[in-house]
Amino acid sequence: MNMLDRSVCPPIRDIQSIVVPEVETISLKNGSRLHCMNVGIDEVVRVTVIVGVGLDVQKVPLSTRMMSSLLFEGTKDMTQTEVAEKFDFYGARKSILPGMYASSYDLISLTRHLPKIIDVFVDSVFSPALRVDDFNRLSKIMKTNMKDLSKRVDYLSDKNLDYMLFGKNARLIHPEQEDIDKLTVDDLQKLHSDYFNIENVEFVACGMITDEVKKVLIDTFSAIAPSGRTRKTDKPLVLPEMDKKYNFFHKTGVQAGVCIGRQLFGRSDKDEKGMRFLNTVFGGYFGSRLSSNIREEKGYTYGIYSDLSINKHHGTMTISTQCDNKYVQKVIDETFKEMEILCTENVPDNELERVKNYLLGTMCSTYGNALAWNSEMIRAVTSANGGDISLTYINDFIDYIRSVSADDVKKMAQKYYGKDDFGVSVVADKDKLDK
C-alpha cells in the first residue's frame, strides 16, 4: 500500500480556462425561448423567468418593485398563505430581482419536486392576484423601510451620489415615501398587463436538467398563450453631465457616510475587462489598495470598497465607506491619492500576481457551484436581447487576467481615474468635522 508523502507539496497548476457547460436553447411553440444548462451532480434546479420590465419603464417611481413584490402574494386561484405553504411544503425558494432594463424571478427546487411546484411559480408570475389588501400592507412595510433607510448615513450618501451620476433619473432608483401614495393597484395591473406577456419573456434553467425536467419545463412554458404584443425595446437612460462634483448633507451622529463615484460605459465596451481588473487592485477585494491603506494602515474605517455596476447601456464606479466624522477629509484625500499612485506608478509584480490569483481563484470557486451559472445565463440572455446568447466572455476575461501587465493597469488608471471625473457625496455632522 502506497503511503501519501505529506512533506511534498502537491503540484500547483495555472488556471488556463474554465469549461463552460453547453447551453441548449429551445424555441417554444408560443414564440419564447428556454435556455437549459445541465450542470452539477446535485438533484436541484434553478428556473428563472426573465421579463423585459425594469426601472426604465416606470411611470411612477417604485411601481416595478412594488408590482414584483406583489407577485408571490397570491394568485387568482390561491391566497398568499396557500402559495407560501406550497413553497414551504416542497422546500422550494423564490426570489425577485428588479433591474434597470429587465427583471428576473427565480425558483429553486429539488428536481423531484419541480413538477409539483412549477405551476404555482408560473401562476404567481403571470397571473398574480394584485389584491388591494396586499398592496396596502406592502405599502406600509415599504414606508417603514424607507423611513429607517433615511436615517442611515451609508444610504443617504449613496443616494446623493446617484443624483449626481443619474440626475433626475435617480428617483427611479431611490423613490421617496410620497411615491408610494401616488401608486394604485390599477397602475400595477396595467404595468403587469403591458409587459408580462410571452413575447417579452425568456426562460433559463440550470442544474440537473434531466429529460423529465426538460419536458416539464417545455410543457409548462409552452402552455402560456401568446398575447399578440411586441417585445419591449429598452429606453437607455441618458446620463447627464456632472455639473456638481461635491454634495454635503448635514446629519448629527458619530458615523459619517462617504461615497465617491463616476459614470462609466456599458457592458459591451472594450475596456470592461481592464476596468474590472483595475478596480480589484484599487478597492475590489480585502487586500486592495484602499483596504490596505485606509483600513489596515491608518485605521480610518472598518471597511472601504470600490464597486463597478455595469449594465447593457451604461455603468458607474462607486467607492463607499463609513467613518468617524473627523476622518472624512482624510478618507477622501487618501482615496484620490491611491488613484494618483496607480496613474503614475506600475503595480509591483508580486501585487499583480496576487490580484491575478485572487480573481482566477474566485472565478473557479464561483463556477464550481452549479446554480451560480444561472446568473451568468441571465447576463447573457439580457445582453443578447433576443439574439444568440454567448458565454465566451468568461474565458475572454481569464485570458485578459493571465496576460495583463503592470503597464496595462497604469494606462487604464490614467484613462479612468482622473479626479475631475469623480463626484463626492458626504453625509456627516458638520460640527464634528476635522476643520
Q: Residue 109's domain is classified under what CATH number?
A: 3.30.830.10
Residue 423 confidence (pLDDT) above 60? yes
Angle at 167 between CA 56 and CA 305, to 5 degrees: 90
pLDDT(159) > 60: yes
Q: Assess if residue 260 is contained within a domain.
A: yes
Residues whose CB is less than 8 angstroms from the CB of residue 10 and which lie 6 or more positions away in sequence, other chains included: none
Mean pLDDT of 390-415: 94
Do 277 and 337 belong together in one domain? yes
pLDDT greater than 90 at residue 202: yes
**What pLDDT is stored for residue 318 in this prediction?**
97
Which residue type, as a one-letter code, is found at position 191? L
As a whole number, the mean pLDDT across the chain is 91
User: Where does the pLDDT of residue 408 fall: very low under 50, low under 70, confident under 90, or very high at 90 and above?
Assistant: very high
Which residue shows C-alpha cell 431611490?
174
- Whole domain around residue 124: which residue ranges? 24-222
Highest averaged pLDDT of the listed ranges 50-59, 61-70, 410-419: 410-419
Same domain, 327 and 428: yes
Question: Residue 221: exposed, middle, or buried by beta-carbon count in 10 A (0-12, 13-18, 19+)?
Answer: buried
Give CA–CA dist 281/308, Å, rounded: 13
Residue 232 forms part of a structural domain: no
State the number of CA atoms in the 13 A half-sphere of 120 facing the CB: 27
pLDDT digits (tens, 9 = 90+) for 65-122: 999 999 999 998 899 999 999 999 999 999 999 988 899 999 999 999 999 999 999 9
What Cα–Cα distance (Å) separates residue 227 from each residue in 28, 57, 121? 14, 19, 20
C-alpha triplet 61, 64, 69: angle, nearest 5°: 120
Distance CA 302, CA 154 (A): 13
Q: Are residues 217 and 254 in the same domain?
A: no
Please tell me the predicted confidence (pLDDT) of residue 45. 96
pLDDT for 230: 78
Kindly state whether residue 8 falls inside one of the protein's structural domains.
no
Task: Say whether pLDDT at 231 is over 90.
Answer: no
> To 10 degrees, the CA torsion angle through 88, 89, 93, 98?
-60
Whether residues 331 and 426 share a domain: the answer is: yes
Same domain as 269, residue 164 = no
CB of 179 closer than 8 Å to CB of 207: no
Q: Are residue 306 and residue 215 in the same domain, yes or no?
A: no
Q: How confident is the model at residue 435 (pLDDT cuts 50, 70, 90)?
A: low
Task: Extract the C-alpha cell encoding 329.
Answer: 477629509
* Assessment of whether the complete model's pTM goes beyond 0.75: yes
Whether 293 and 202 share a structural domain: no
In this structure, the chain runs to a length of 435
**Strand pairing report for 44-51 and 103-110:** antiparallel
DSSP secondary structure code for residue 280 in this structure: I
How many domains in the chain? 2
Query: 203 and 352, same structural domain?
Result: no
Cell, residue 278: 483595475
Of the ranges 224-228, 269-273, 326-330, which one carries the lowest mean pLDDT score? 224-228
Beta carbons of 259 and 159 less than 8 angstroms apart: no
Whether 56 is in a domain gets the answer yes
Return left, alpha or beta for 308; rule: phi > 0 is left, psi -120 to 50 is alpha, else beta: beta
Cα 333 to Cα 345: distance, rounded to the nearest angstrom: 18
Going by the DSSP 8-state scheme, the letter that residue 283 receives in this structure is I
Please check whether residue 264 is in contact with residue 275, taking contact to mean a CB–CB distance below 8 angstroms: yes
Return the number of other C-beta atoms located less than 10 Å from residue 22's C-beta.
10
The SS3 of residue 220 is helix
| Domain assignment of residue 7, yes or no | no
- Summarize the confidence of residues 390-394 as an average pLDDT: 89
What's the pLDDT tens digit per position in 129-141? 999 999 999 999 9
Same domain for 213 and 92, yes or no, is yes
Residue that terminates a domain, selected from 188, 222, 256: 222
Q: Are 320 and 256 in contact (CB under 8 A)?
A: no
Please identify which residue in the block is written with the cell numbers 500547483.
Answer: 12
Could you tell me which of 99, 236, 241, 102 has the C-alpha nearest to residue 173?
A: 99
Is residue 194 domain-shared with residue 297, that is, in the same domain? no
State the Cα–Cα distance between residues 154 and 301, nearest whole angstrom. 13
Q: Give a yes or no: residue 346 inside a domain.
A: yes
> Can you name the residues that pair with 202 across neighbouring β-strands?
50
Range with the lowest mean pLDDT among 210-219, 337-346, 349-358, 377-386?
A: 377-386
Q: How high is the pLDDT of residue 387?
A: 74
Q: Judge whether 185 lies within some domain.
A: yes
Residue 235 included in any domain: no
Residues 205 and 287 in one domain: no
pLDDT at 365: 86
Instruction: Quick: pLDDT tens for 266-313.
Output: 988 999 999 999 999 999 999 999 999 999 999 999 999 999 999 888
User: pLDDT band for position 1 (50/70/90)?
Assistant: low
The predicted structure's pLDDT at residue 389: 79
Helix (H) or strand (E) segment spanning residue 407: helix 406-416
Q: Is 84 exposed, middle or buried (0-12, 13-18, 19+ CB in 10 A)?
A: middle
Say whether both 199 and 289 belong to one domain: no
**H or E element at residue 207:** strand 201-207
